Amino acid sequence: MAAGAQTGSEYIKHHLTNLTFGRDSEGVWKIAETAQEAQEMGFYAIHIDSMGWSITLGFIFIFLFSMVARKASTGVPSGLQNGIEMIIEFIDSNVKDTFSHTNKLIAPMALTAFVWVLLMNLMDLVPVDWIPKLFDLGGVHYMKIVPTTDPNVTMGMSLSVFFLALFFSIKNKGIGGFVGELTLHPFSSKNLLIKIILIPINLFLEGVSLLARPISHGLRLFGNLYAGEMIFILIALLPLYAQWTLSVPWAIFHILVIVLQAFIFMVLMVVYMNMAHDAGDH
């Protein structure tokens, strides 16, 4: 049994606990030694593993793409160059189909979002015990290696997209246009009194819709990857023969989820940016 001396519930709880740095109940800043202590550190605690792996994977993305860019040739491309060119063409095609305005920032953003999220998702295919046990030998008892199973990471990315969309929305529509979009739609009237009465209703409906975007954007990615990670952990609790019987088919199926969720995150980001650039008639 992969859990060793631990019970099943202890094993699951251990694998779902982040390496957390924060202030304990006595006001001392430290790395949490137990799952309960990590939980008690509250909002200002930092998940070192999520931050570390996401930054590391970001640098891997930058290194691979910059290396290929420097060595790119017009001749027969290498396997890595060919693969990266396919990804770039795929993202560029989707941006052109989804984004109907002109902004040179959107395509690089979409490429970064897709590849970075894909790399973070791919960590879910690493057997659940390998890296945590390696760190445990060095005295680090908690280590989650899939950043997208941490809602702090996925919500951080979705909120970044949200605030960027707000910036472009105000920039392209103006303060008046942005406020008008929230207060004069979806219900409107030529009668001034009725229009004033409808403003709070429109503000509520449009406000809920606006705030729901980053929440659904981040939690959709988190929920799917968290569920996949949980299934891998549950499989790891089974006898060895059952682990191989179930983990391989699930890993093959999970590859589809990993790629699809990275694609969905990227597409929604482009859609929100396109909406932010739709000035229309406000």
pTM exceeds cut of 0.85? yes
**23 forms bridges with which residues in the sheet?**
29
Domain membership of residue 269 (yes or no) is yes
Q: Considering the chain, what percentage of its residues have pLDDT values greater than 70? A: 96
Domain membership of residue 34 (yes or no) is no
Catalytic residue selected from 82, 93, 189, 216: 216
Q: How confident is the model at residue 3 (pLDDT cuts 50, 70, 90)?
A: very low
- Cβ neighbours of residue 247 under 8 Å, at least 6 residues apart? 127, 232, 235, 236
Judge whether residue 281 has pLDDT over 70: no
Characterize the bridge pairing of strands 46-47 and 29-31: unpaired
Catalytic residue selected from 50, 158, 224, 274: 224
What rounded mean pLDDT belongs to the chain? 92
Residue 241: its pLDDT value, please? 86
Q: How confident is the model at residue 90 (pLDDT cuts 50, 70, 90)?
A: very high
Residue 74: its pLDDT value, please? 67
Which of 24-33, 70-79, 111-120 reaches the highest mean pLDDT? Answer: 111-120
Domain membership of residue 271 (yes or no) is yes
Mean pLDDT throughout 178-206?
92
Task: Give the total residue count for the chain.
Answer: 282
Domain membership of residue 32 (yes or no) is no
Q: How confident is the model at residue 280 (pLDDT cuts 50, 70, 90)?
A: low
Judge whether residue 1 has pLDDT over 60: no
Domain membership of residue 173 (yes or no) is yes
Residue 93 a catalytic site member: no
Q: pLDDT tens, 142-186?
A: 999 999 999 999 999 999 999 999 999 999 999 999 999 999 988
Residue 78: its pLDDT value, please? 75
Domain membership of residue 171 (yes or no) is yes
Q: Which two structure tokens, joined as six digits, stand for 193?
A: 């009194």
Domain membership of residue 37 (yes or no) is no
Residue 50 a catalytic site member: no
Domain interval for residue 200? 78-277
- Cβ neighbours of residue 118 under 8 Å, at least 6 residues apart? 258, 259, 262
The answer to whether 177 and 152 are in contact (CB under 8 A) is: no
Domain membership of residue 26 (yes or no) is no
Residue 216 a catalytic site member: yes
Residue 54: its pLDDT value, please? 98
Mean pLDDT throughout 118-134?
95
Report how many domains make up the chain. 1
